[in-house]
Amino acid sequence: MTKKHLLLCALALIWSSSADKAHAADKTCLYVSSYHSGYEWSDGIEKGLEDGLGDSCKLEKFYMDTKRNKSVEFFKQKSLEAKKIIDATKPDVVIACDDNASKYLVMPYYKNAETPFVFCGVNHNVDSYGYPYDNVTGMIEIAPVDATKNIVKEIVPNAKKGVYLSMDVTSQHKEYDLNKSIYAKSNIEIDRILITNMDEWVEGFKKAQEYEFIIVGSSGGIQGWDIELAKKTAEAETRNLTVTNMSWLDEISMITVTKIAEEQGEWSAKVAQAILMGTEPLDIPIIVNRKWDLRINPELIKKTEIEIPQSLYDKAVKEEF
């Protein structure tokens, strides 16, 4: 058995020990979210974290709110506020969620520091942050883009050009780059339509119908976002295949292939518990998410001439729209 397998077995024993968890009940964990409470994806991560931690530690929370506020100055200000809390309260573990917490808080202030960190929700890769550090481990968030591409090819076999419709934010830049590189392996080019507000989204969605397929990026941070208007626009304007990796956009996309937010939080909770019990972060491997769901929106599909293979319907999560 390899050293890595032995470590994971040891962690499993730690995580399953209720006695050890009770021993850690006097500990403090701090959750630092890059975004705001009410943003559906990070809310799912937070729920997984809360459920996973249980009474293992007292969980404090800090929201950087960098999805709705776009300036680097604001990012740095909120990072300093989080730093003041960390330095003053000295939590036993900090869980840093999404890219901006890593970029503006962990990397500049806590690289190889004493405070243990568990990151989650960091998109695509961690190269730009230099992870791992001695005091940092976590889970990388990778959208199931390859699986989505295979579905696109199954529905539109001769596709040569698609478009990515998204916000102009760090996480979506990384998602676009990931999509572009993966589709390029199948000789499919991906253009991009960048938007900042709801009016631009509506116009961008209409323009996107000129392409063979449309990848609908995250709506988080779009000024004046209106899901009802988005649904009306999708119902009226959809002509070609729409796909998304965002679970909360399944009502405006034909095909939704999603990560599961709770997985990020649940894993972070388990790692935090292991650290509370004495495991060093550097001894816990950084991993990527492993779960995804497929959903199909038959109401949108009926408005087009697109045919969806029965095999995809058989695999899909059954939902009412």
Question: Which DSSP string do the residues of 116-175 spell out, in sequence order?
Answer: -EEEEEEES--GGGTPPPTTEEEEEE---HHHHHHHHHHHSTT--EEEEEEESSHHHHHH
In whole angstroms, give the CA distance from residue 160 to residue 318: 30
Q: Which two three-digit tokens encode residue 40?
A: 């559906």
Q: Determine the straight-line distance between the first and last CA of the chain, rounded to whole angstroms.
A: 48
Of 203, 101, 215, 80, the C-alpha closest to 156 is 215
> 195 vs 201, 217, 224, CA distance in Å?
6, 10, 12
The model's pLDDT over 211-270, given as tens digits with 9 standing for 90+, comes to: 999 999 998 778 999 999 999 999 999 999 999 998 889 999 999 999 889 999 999 999
pLDDT tier, 40 (very low <50, low <70, confident <90, very high otherwise): confident
- The answer to whether the 3-142+260-291 and 145-258+293-315 domains have the same CATH topology is yes
pLDDT tier, 25 (very low <50, low <70, confident <90, very high otherwise): low
pLDDT tier, 321 (very low <50, low <70, confident <90, very high otherwise): very low
pTM of full prediction above 0.75: no
CA–chain centroid gap for 65, Å, is 16
Listed in sequence order, the residues at least 6 apart from 277 whose beta carbon sits closer than 8 Å to its beta carbon are 14, 20, 23, 24
State the CATH class of domain 3-142+260-291. alpha beta
Residues of the chain with pLDDT > 70, as a percent, come to: 91
Can you identify the CATH homologous superfamily of domain 145-258+293-315?
Response regulator (3.40.50.2300)
In whole angstroms, give the CA distance from residue 215 to residue 243: 5
Residue 7's pLDDT is 52
pLDDT tier, 85 (very low <50, low <70, confident <90, very high otherwise): very high
Residue 5's pLDDT is 52
Helix or strand or coil: residue 213?
A: strand
| Number of Cβ within a 10 Å radius of residue 179 | 24
Lowest mean pLDDT among 113-117, 277-281, 308-312: 308-312
Of 152, 196, 192, the C-alpha closest to 175 is 192
Does pLDDT of 23 surpass 90?
Answer: no
The model's pLDDT over 128-176, given as tens digits with 9 standing for 90+, comes to: 999 999 999 999 998 899 999 999 999 999 999 999 999 888 788 889 9
Helix or strand or coil: residue 292?
A: strand
Spans of all domains in the chain: 3-142+260-291, 145-258+293-315
What's phi and psi for 78, nearest 5 deg? Answer: -65, -35
In whole angstroms, give the CA distance from residue 49 to residue 266: 5
Residue 11's pLDDT is 56
Does pLDDT of 126 surpass 50?
Answer: yes
In whole angstroms, give the CA distance from residue 320 to residue 318: 7
* Whether 115 contacts 135, CB under 8 Å: yes
pLDDT, averaged across the chain:
91
Does pLDDT of 19 surpass 80?
Answer: no
